């Protein structure tokens, strides 16, 4: 029998501080305990390093996109099946699982491919995720049929769930292909779809996830495969690594925030006309915003819209709170940037707020009821920028910038480009020169060179980015076009 798992390290993850290889070793060790002569295979991308993996595990590498992790896993599984030409049974398992029994009994059944399903009453709020993709069992004798089935799932994934290539999309595609009406109320079920013999196995036995409390040995006795999801992973980590894992909680939270943010922003921006409003003087040209245009602004850029008498509702408001709070003088009144933005919140509404300090937004009454979605972004994650400026890297365009990141306004441009906006208009993005739209700026500019270097690359690679003002610093690099 062959036990196959999957793992990749995204570029923002330090493999030395990840418990992934320990989990993989635990998985394959449990497989060998019940199947002493099994093969063990890890599917991964071309670059992820694995220095602590047991020598019994073969590593197979494929050209994969780590940002489309679930779609990449499915691709790797399909490519692996294409290479197999013998009759060994195959178990594709998530890395955070343990094999708790001999699986030969279930593999002796009459099927080509087996999947695990959740009972409807267990997932009443997420019925579209009734099938969990963490366990896929393939009979060696049914390999061609299983391959055809997974290729159909991949086609469905690509056509119907392209907005979920990072997470969960495989489970949506699986239920689309199998059909929610075919999910049994309990027990095992055989069915035939397009000539493929499927077996549906209950998660309760073949993909069991313990609850919040530490499970008793008697509770696990009849569970064939145990899935330690989320916080329950600590129960299969060595005690020392559990302490190190505590240091990873912030990383895990940031990763989940990024995935949720990308999902929402993709739906908000893809195929749309977008206006990005900064707080520079060139924002003065804004007089009217057509109703079909998505409006993105950052920090005190909301003041521009209020001063223009425009609808103080934006689709995305990007707020960066700094430890050294700046002073702003607007219309003769001076206040710290923090207090000024808090005051703007009381006069405004945003479909989504993205900030480096969501806990502050949650605690401040000024923001209560003023937004629908709240996401974290520290502003320094180079993932968007590196992808947009390839083959160059952030350090190659940083120049004199005191921080390795663009200004907030150009962070919004990264969002719009990354998520496929149809047309992008910029106003008030002036490289920190000539002050604010409402007056001088006494604060030092931190983004010298990096902003202009980024815009130069954008002008060469993207022809749907425009500036609204002929007097803007941007007009030297990108064409001027008015909103209509």
pLDDT in tens, 297-308: 998 888 888 888
Question: 134-170 pLDDT, tens per residue?
Answer: 999 999 999 999 999 999 999 999 999 988 888 888 9
Q: Of the spans 4-18, 217-231, 413-427, 432-446, which averages the highest pLDDT?
A: 413-427
Residues 423 and 468 grouped into a single domain: yes
Q: CA-to-CA distance for 282 and 40, rounded, in angstroms? A: 61
Residue 219's domain comprises: 2-246
Residue 483 lies in a domain: no
Of 216, 246, 276, which residue is a domain's last? 246
- The more confident residue out of 324 and 404 is 404
Packing angle, helices 408-418 and 450-461, rounded to 10: 20
The two tokens of residue 144 are 């061609």
The two tokens of residue 125 are 């709020």
Of 183, 218, 246, which residue is a domain's last? 246
Residue 227 lies in a domain: yes
Residues 259 and 241 grouped into a single domain: no
Q: What is the pLDDT, as a whole number, of residue 70?
A: 92
Residue 25 lies in a domain: yes
Across the range 114-132, mean pLDDT stands at 68
Q: What is the pLDDT, as a whole number, of residue 138?
A: 96
pLDDT exceeds 50 at position 327: yes
Residues 9 and 61 grouped into a single domain: yes
**Which of 107-111, 227-231, 333-337, 460-464 is least confident?**
333-337
Q: What is the pLDDT, as a whole number, of residue 326?
A: 66
Is the CB of residue 388 less than 8 Å from the CB of residue 417? Answer: yes
Helix, strand, coil % over all residues of the chain, rounded to 5:
40, 20, 40
Number of Cα atoms under 13 Å in the Cβ half of residue 137: 26
Number of structural domains (the chain) is 2
Across the range 425-434, mean pLDDT stands at 88
Question: 33-48 pLDDT, tens per residue?
Answer: 889 899 999 999 998 9
CATH of the domain at 12: 3.90.550.10
Residue 59 lies in a domain: yes
pLDDT exceeds 70 at position 233: no
Mean residue pLDDT of the chain comes to 85
Q: CA-to-CA distance for 48 and 50, rounded, in angstroms? A: 7
Residues 14 and 126 grouped into a single domain: yes
> Tokens 């190190």, residue?
244
Is the CB of residue 70 less than 8 Å from the CB of residue 43? Answer: no
Across the range 107-114, mean pLDDT stands at 94
Across the range 310-316, mean pLDDT stands at 83
Of 224, 246, 268, which residue is a domain's last? 246
Across the range 419-442, mean pLDDT stands at 85
Residues 277 and 323 grouped into a single domain: yes
Question: 57-85 pLDDT, tens per residue?
Answer: 999 999 998 888 999 999 999 999 999 87
Q: What is the pLDDT, as a whole number, of residue 61?
A: 96
Residues 313 and 212 grouped into a single domain: no
CATH of the domain at 434: 3.90.1480.10
pLDDT exceeds 90 at position 433: no
Across the range 318-340, mean pLDDT stands at 71
Residues 373 and 399 grouped into a single domain: yes
pLDDT band at 352 (very low <50, low <70, confident <90, very high): very high
pLDDT exceeds 90 at position 103: yes
Q: What is the pLDDT, as a whole number, of residue 196?
A: 95
Residues 319 and 386 grouped into a single domain: yes
Q: What is the pLDDT, as a whole number, of residue 19?
A: 83
User: Which residue, 393, 394, 418, is CA-closest to 404?
Assistant: 394
Q: What is the pLDDT, as a whole number, of residue 247?
A: 42
pLDDT band at 246 (very low <50, low <70, confident <90, very high): very low
Residues 188 and 310 grouped into a single domain: no
Residue 22 lies in a domain: yes
Q: CA-to-CA distance for 189 and 179, rounded, in angstroms? A: 13
Residue 481 lies in a domain: no
Q: Of the spans 109-113, 241-245, 375-379, which averages the highest pLDDT?
A: 109-113
pLDDT band at 250 (very low <50, low <70, confident <90, very high): low
Phi, psi of 423, rounded to the nearest 5 degrees: -135, 140
pLDDT exceeds 70 at position 375: yes
Beta strand 196-202 pairing with 189-193: antiparallel
Residues 424 and 303 grouped into a single domain: yes
pLDDT exceeds 70 at position 120: no
Residue 484 lies in a domain: no
- The more confident residue out of 331 and 244 is 331
Residue 218 lies in a domain: yes
Is the CB of residue 411 less than 8 Å from the CB of residue 319? Answer: no
Residues 371 and 423 grouped into a single domain: yes
pLDDT exceeds 80 at position 201: yes
pLDDT exceeds 70 at position 384: yes
Residues 225 and 265 grouped into a single domain: no
């Amino acid at each position: 029998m062959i036990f196959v798992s999957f793992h990749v390290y995204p570029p923002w993850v330090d493999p030395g501080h990840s418990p992934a290889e320990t989990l993989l070793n635990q998985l394959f060790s449990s497989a060998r305990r019940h199947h002493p002569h099994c093969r063990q295979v890890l599917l991964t991308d071309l670059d992820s390093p694995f220095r602590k993996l047991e020598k019994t595990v073969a590593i197979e590498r494929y050209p994969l996109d780590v940002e489309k992790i679930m779609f990449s896993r499915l691709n790797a599984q399909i490519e692996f099946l294409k290479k197999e030409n013998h009759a060994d049974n195959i178990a594709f398992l998530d890395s955070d699982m343990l094999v708790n029994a001999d699986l030969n009994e279930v593999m002796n059944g009459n099927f080509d491919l087996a999947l695990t399903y959740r009972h409807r009453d267990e997932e009443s709020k997420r019925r579209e995720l009734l099938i969990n993709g963490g366990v896929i069992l393939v009979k060696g004798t049914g390999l061609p049929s299983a391959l055809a089935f997974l290729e159909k799932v991949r086609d469905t994934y690509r056509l119907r769930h392209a907005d979920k290539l990072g997470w969960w999309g495989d489970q949506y595609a699986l239920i689309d292909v199998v059909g929610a009406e075919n999910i049994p109320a309990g027990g095992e079920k055989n069915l035939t779809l397009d000539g493929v013999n499927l077996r549906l196995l209950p998660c309760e036995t073949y993909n069991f996830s313990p609850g919040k409390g530490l499970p008793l040995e008697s509770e696990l006795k009849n569970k064939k495969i145990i899935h330690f999801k989320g916080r329950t992973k600590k129960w299969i980590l060595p005690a020392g690594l559990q302490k190190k894992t505590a240091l990873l909680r912030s990383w895990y939270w940031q990763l989940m925030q990024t995935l949720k943010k990308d999902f929402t922003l993709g739906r908000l921006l893809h195929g749309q006309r977008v206006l990005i409003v900064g707080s520079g003087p060139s924002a003065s040209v804004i007089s009217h915003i057509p109703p079909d245009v998505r409006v993105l602004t950052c920090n005190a850029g909301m003041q521009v819209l209020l001063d223009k008498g425009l609808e103080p509702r934006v689709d995305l408001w990007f707020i960066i709170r700094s430890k050294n709070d700046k002073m702003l003088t607007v219309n003769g009144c001076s206040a710290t940037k923090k207090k000024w933005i808090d005051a703007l919140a009381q006069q405004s509404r945003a479909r989504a707020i993205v900030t480096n300090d969501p806990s502050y937004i949650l605690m401040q009454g000024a923001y209560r009821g003023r937004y629908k979605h709240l996401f974290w972004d520290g502003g320094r994650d180079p993932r968007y920028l590196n992808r947009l400026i390839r083959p160059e890297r952030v350090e190659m365009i940083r120049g004199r910038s005191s921080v390795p990141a663009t200004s907030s306004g150009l962070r919004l441009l990264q969002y719009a480009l990354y998520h496929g906006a149809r047309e992008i208009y910029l106003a008030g993005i002036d490289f920190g020169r000539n002050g604010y739209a409402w007056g001088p700026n006494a604060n030092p500019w931190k983004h010298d060179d990096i902003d202009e270097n980024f815009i130069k690359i954008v002008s060469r690679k993207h022809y749907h980015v425009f500036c609204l003002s002929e007097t803007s610093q941007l007009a030297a690099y990108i064409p001027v076009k008015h909103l209509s």
